[in-house]
Structure 1
């Protein structure tokens, strides 16, 4: 089905209950619904937003178009959790219902402010000629999780500096001051990140500090989803450049999700990330984008990603549903490397632990499991996951001591790392692979057929395996 602009931006109120019921029934027919990942009931899920801790709960929002597997008129869904594994959805809480966000509530972030949670997001406004004007908007969540929008934009676009591609505000604190990053395209069509500092405690007035300095390279034509978090004494910038030259950083997906580790964030030194290291891919897999990270009250840093990509179709589209979020990952820096590990509470999903001698005969699974193994020094191995009796595998891992070559159907991704240990999570149509307890991560979507439910190894391999519950 080809969606027209009018269909994508049809008002929510115009959908009948019968239409909504049919959408839910169609989505339930998908054979690839996950067990422990966040997915939309219907329609499209993309960027995670507003990741935060407030009022004794973890809060998370995601961008959502409820009526089809396309990017249409966006809203926000709100979820809460007590353990960063089990999330309870409270439904749509930010609708595109004002003149400032009449064409969509785009991505943003959250910051606790006293007894409220302050949200900031990009309002996608379109005028009568369909010209876009991006407004940076605010909203307040109270103790009862009720959301009230601020009546006027907090930041208006300055078209002398940036184009209409100006979005994804991220709030964060440094030394009792509140700062803001916004992804931007300059008037010269370069990807940049704008920096602001709050001028009042209400976060309704902002000082423009200019652009963030973190690399001498040109960051393509646009930067989306900038995040700055503080991890083990280092400043880590996570962002999504579009149109980035492969000479600057090699990547295989349509757009990369990158990070930079720096020594310090300083606004007194020309908005600079001091001691910024090289650009690196956050995830070496097929589908990871729009990662949002934040620092919890105890200083720990957590991240969650959209397991999808812009301008990409997926097998679930025919069921009117698309998109999922990754597991929450705790961030750490060890020996100058960024590690991403599943939160400790993920272990509570494990049951029926088995130690298995895997071989080319294979074992049968229900495609919801975690397996763990160690690679002996100097050895190599080929692991077929989600495979059938003929060894036609949806995922194949060719492993040696220096790299992993991951094949999904006919596509390949390579992760260069000395491999000692690997944990593989499979959730129906989602995989997340952690090498050496998160030194490297490969994530993505995969859509096995009804016969692909075996695991096989080319050579005998001792694995530890758990089934995973909801």
Structure 2
């Protein structure tokens, strides 16, 4: 296994890698007890941002940014996934490959939109010159009904807007009243984060700058990544990642937060939120970032998140793979707050009720706890534990992974807590071996995190009334 990742290795063309590199990683993965049962995970190497989430040709499509040769950021491709039900995903392998003039050093994040009988993909092409100066390009590609991809050789947006740096990426493409718009995360030369909006009559262009998205008067740190604008009950919701945002603007505990803002309305001419809310955390847990959401044709607003963080080392790195995705969630607005709920299709994962203290690595634990105080503890045979401490009447909850296995990201703490405005009445915990998703009050609050226990057996105990269900292992 490679332990010293030089720039040359990270950007080595795919055809120059020996076949043994992938084979060695697969051997490690075959012996790993940290792999997941029903969360999307990489076949090898790094899984980064979710991209191109869409519904096309009677299937759900998703792409993951991938560096298949190791658990590091290198020469990235888009790897293609399809599903009939948002739960069982088929991995078709890398499809959007880097190496052409417009994406010579990587296919970075982007989105997808259906146009006639094809899926159009818009993404950032990472281009470096001989002096290693970055020249980001916003590129396009077409996917047909046979899952054949054709890249567009000429960049759709070739230059960074004057006054901005080379941190100019992650286009989200949307359509309104016959016009196409793309939102791009950007860093200004004064080190402030912004979302820039471009407009075109067709997805292939010509694209021209329209405006800066106006959604807050607060400073948004030094860079905004992964902007996603969706509409729930006709209200705009922006999901984004403000790097370097002040704690005075958004209290957060992770290295970088994934945030959202809701407006009462939207001005399409000015690209401006009407009466925007304060900025809130999308997830109060440990490991959520780069969430991608879209307005699906069935009327739902769906999202999926990267369970991983930039600039963070994870224990599975030593096995040659890193990260995974959340369950697909449906987004709703209730009382002005964003609710996230696992899509109803996840109900098919339930296999059986568990009556014993020992639980499966893939287990759902539910508790109706109105008026109660108590703790849910998941342990292993190695005396590891993750604790969920709940004071339901006062709306307080604390998730503690201090003793949950091999420590990581400890500079940012090993507990996460939140005090809600009202009472807690329901919690649902989805455990999948080394990842957990905790949904409070049917998704009013979500805590997501990774754990890397040495133990292989799990046990659940609580002084609260809990119900346990074994879930399918589909991967």
Q: Same fold (TM over 0.5)?
A: yes
1:5 is matched with: 7
- Mapped pair 1:415 → 2:415: no
Q: Any idea what the Cα deviations from partners look like across 1:272-304, whole Å, max 9, x if unmatched? A: 111110100000000000000001113310000
Structure 1, gaps ≥5 residues long: 357-361
| Residues 358 and 457, structure 2, Cα contact 8 Å, conserved in 1 | no
| CA deviation after TM superposition for structure 1 residue 389, in Å | 7.7
Q: Any idea what the Cα deviations from partners look like across 1:113-141, whole Å, max 9, x if unmatched? A: 00000000000000011100000000000
- Mapped pair 1:296 → 2:293: no
| CA deviation after TM superposition for structure 1 residue 451, in Å | 5.7
In the aligned structure 2, how far is the partner of 1:266 from the partner of 1:165? 27
1:223 is matched with: 224
| CA deviation after TM superposition for structure 1 residue 452, in Å | 5.4
| CA deviation after TM superposition for structure 1 residue 387, in Å | 4.0
Q: Any idea what the Cα deviations from partners look like across 1:140-186, whole Å, max 9, x if unmatched? A: 00110100000100002235231000000001123343211000001
Instruction: Report the number of matched residues.
Output: 457
Q: Any idea what the Cα deviations from partners look like across 1:13-33, whole Å, max 9, x if unmatched? A: 011222321121122222110
1:285 is matched with: 285
* Structure-to-structure mapping, 1:10-409, within 5 angstroms: 10-158=12-160, 160-199=162-201, 201-268=202-269, 270-354=270-354, 363-377=357-371, 379-388=372-381, 392-393=384-385, 395-401=386-392, 402-409=395-402
1:447 is matched with: 452
In the aligned structure 2, how far is the partner of 1:353 from the partner of 1:67? 40
1:359 is matched with: none
- Mapped pair 1:431 → 2:436: yes
RMSD over aligned Cα atoms: 1.4
In the aligned structure 2, how far is the partner of 1:432 from the partner of 1:177? 38
| TM-score relative to the length of structure 2 | 0.94
Structure 2 counterpart SS, 1:23 = helix
In the aligned structure 1, how far is the partner of 2:177 from the partner of 2:21? 51
| CA deviation after TM superposition for structure 1 residue 189, in Å | 1.3
| Residues 160 and 187, structure 1, Cα contact 8 Å, conserved in 2 | no
| Residues 87 and 346, structure 2, Cα contact 8 Å, conserved in 1 | yes
In the aligned structure 2, how far is the partner of 1:220 from the partner of 1:323? 25
| Residues 159 and 187, structure 1, Cα contact 8 Å, conserved in 2 | no
In the aligned structure 2, how far is the partner of 1:93 from the partner of 1:193? 28
| Residues 367 and 386, structure 1, Cα contact 8 Å, conserved in 2 | no
| Residues 387 and 456, structure 1, Cα contact 8 Å, conserved in 2 | no
In the aligned structure 1, how far is the partner of 2:397 from the partner of 2:350? 25
In the aligned structure 2, how far is the partner of 1:452 from the partner of 1:363? 11
| CA deviation after TM superposition for structure 1 residue 261, in Å | 0.6
Q: Any idea what the Cα deviations from partners look like across 1:244-263, whole Å, max 9, x if unmatched? A: 11011000000000000112
| CA deviation after TM superposition for structure 1 residue 306, in Å | 0.2
| CA deviation after TM superposition for structure 1 residue 376, in Å | 3.1
Pick closer, same or farther for the CA change 1:389–1:10 going to 2, 3 Å: closer
Structure 2 counterpart SS, 1:353 = strand
Structure 2 counterpart SS, 1:27 = helix
In the aligned structure 2, how far is the partner of 1:103 from the partner of 1:178? 27
In the aligned structure 2, how far is the partner of 1:440 from the partner of 1:219? 23
| Residues 386 and 448, structure 1, Cα contact 8 Å, conserved in 2 | no
In the aligned structure 2, how far is the partner of 1:177 from the partner of 1:403? 46
| TM-score relative to the length of structure 1 | 0.95
In the aligned structure 2, how far is the partner of 1:312 from the partner of 1:2? 16
Structure 2 counterpart SS, 1:347 = helix
